[in-house]
Amino acid sequence: MSSLFGLSHNVTLIVWALVAIVFLVVLIARFKWNPFVTLLLSSLLLGFLAGMKPADIIKAVTGGLGGTLATIAIVIGLGTMLGKMMAESGGAERIATTLVDRFGEKRVHWAMMLVGFIVGIPVFFEVGVILLIPIVFVVARKTKMSLLQIGIPILAGLSTVHGLVPPHPAPMIAIDAYKADLGTTILYSLIVGLPTAIVAGPLFGKYIGKRIRVEPPEKLAEQFTMKERRDLPGFGITLLTILMPVLLMLIGSIASIADPKAKSGFTQFAGFIGNEVIALLIAVVFAFFTLGFARGFTKEEVSRFASECLAPTATIILIIGGGGAFKQVLINSGVGGAIAAIATQAHVNIILFAWFVAALIRVATGSATVAMTTAAGIVAPILAQNPGANVELVVLATGAGSLVLSHVNDAGFWMVKEFFDMSVPQTLKSWTAMETILSVLGLIFILVLSAVV
């Protein structure tokens, strides 16, 4: 009797979550309400429908908003400054010109996928977007190609690495929980990840780019454009500047793998400079010199660049924070737990089960990292009872499931929507579809690989 009551309660919570999501989408897409205000209203609505106490709802909203922005706000601020320096110095123009010259206009979107894949290995998705968005804008302008045809491949590369490829932090969580072999997981992740990113990136990007024509937001496009014609900086120093945070984070990741308990002073130092905030801060200061003073800008001009570029990001930061508030109410109201409880009652192949659990939690909470962490805790005890299972492929299945169906409760959804100046329906048709292709196709490749290895 109690199990039936528990199932009924879980189903009710999921229904209320769906009501809140529909309310959110309709207000934004149909009635053109401000997304930040609507996200807060939807968070309150879900909290009351789920039976949360008013004080707990407020705590979830403020905690979710603050927790989401604690790092992302700094990352966006520093990343935008780095992008501004890339633009004013002509660095973004140099990288875009080199890519177009080397690969040709017809194949440049393939290069963008590889750039996203490589840059995304040590950095979180949001950091990668901030680093690469100026290059997306400039390449799209130079080639006259659709913004999505250039942008989707980079997003696919970043997202694939985020969910599948160690030493990215999200896959490392599952590797630790399942006691998987790191080297084997990396090998399998490349076998699965590269073809998955190709289909969801350049191929899907070319398809959707012809059907959804969007332009960069005017203010962002303007600040990521070189204001005066001057000699472009060298490709090497420009590449070093933009890859500085990537290299620092990679050093931190390698050090933590080699010395997981951080016993040595070097590992602690590498972990410090490899933190995304510190790495970006170092890169911005480095850019002030390599792309600022070394290019003939005065200290007043460099200071002005760093200040004036922040205004257009204010709305984006608030909307991402609103998404974090909605996500936290989903978690605190028990929706995430309800999803997990229903998933654990399913008796399926362990690879399918890991994907399914992570997918449901991802849809419920909006966070790939939360989905992977929570799913790993649910799947690990069951995996221990399946000694014949390929543990490394279960890691990848969990990661693939954590990418599926990004929608209005995901901060990444709102970041992509705002940076690409899309409506909610356009973002669902492009970004959400791309994430779902990554997830489902990744699962298919994992199942095929499981029949071979």
Q: Using H for helix, E for strand and C for coil, what is the string for 240-294?
A: HHHHHHHHHHHHHHHHHHHCCCCCCHHHHHHHHHHCHHHHHHHHHHHHHHHHHHH
Token pair 């004080």 is found at 55
Q: Yes or no: say if 161 and 193 are a contact pair by the CB < 8 Å rule.
A: yes
Looking from the CA of 350 toward its CB, the CA atoms found within 13 Å total 22
Angle at the Cα of 260 from the Cα atoms of 259 and 264, rounded to 5 degrees: 40
3-state secondary structure of 64: helix
| Domain boundaries along the sequence of the chain | 68-313
Q: Yes or no: say if 126 and 76 are a contact pair by the CB < 8 Å rule.
A: yes
Measured in degrees and rounded to the nearest 5, phi and psi for residue 115 equal: -60, -45
Rounded distance, CA 229 to CA 232, Å? Answer: 9
Averaged pLDDT score across all residues of the chain: 81
Encoded amino acid at 188, one letter: Y
Task: Give the pLDDT score at 1.
Answer: 47
Instruction: Give mean pLDDT, residues 239-248.
Output: 82
DSSP H or E segment with residue 409: none
Encoded amino acid at 324, one letter: G
112: nearest Cα among 133, 86, 93: 133
**What percentage of the chain has pLDDT greater than the value 70?**
86
CA distance to 133, 145, 170, 353, per residue, from 164 (Å)? 22, 29, 8, 17
Rounded distance, CA 404 to CA 434, Å? Answer: 9
Token pair 């053109």 is found at 32
Express each pLDDT in 88-138 by its tens digit. 787 767 877 787 778 777 788 888 888 888 766 656 677 678 777 887 887
143-181: b (≥16 Cβ within 10 Å) or e: bebbbbbbbbbbbbbbbbbbbbbbbbbbbbbbbebbebe
Q: Binning pLDDT at 50, 70 and 90, where does residue 6 land?
A: low
* CA dihedral over 82, 86, 91, 93, signed as positive or negative: positive
State yes or no: cis peptide before 216, omega within 30 of 0: no
DSSP tag of 389: S
Task: Give the pLDDT score at 323.
Answer: 72
Task: Give the pLDDT score at 286.
Answer: 94
Neighbouring residues of 203: CB distance < 8 A, sequence distance ≥ 6: none
Neighbouring residues of 267: CB distance < 8 A, sequence distance ≥ 6: 255, 256, 258, 259
Express each pLDDT in 317-375 by its tens digit. 787 678 778 778 877 888 766 766 665 565 667 888 889 888 887 887 676 766 776 67
167: nearest Cα among 73, 281, 246, 273: 246
Q: Which two tokens stand for residue 34?
A: 């401000």
Rounded distance, CA 275 to CA 271, Å? Answer: 6
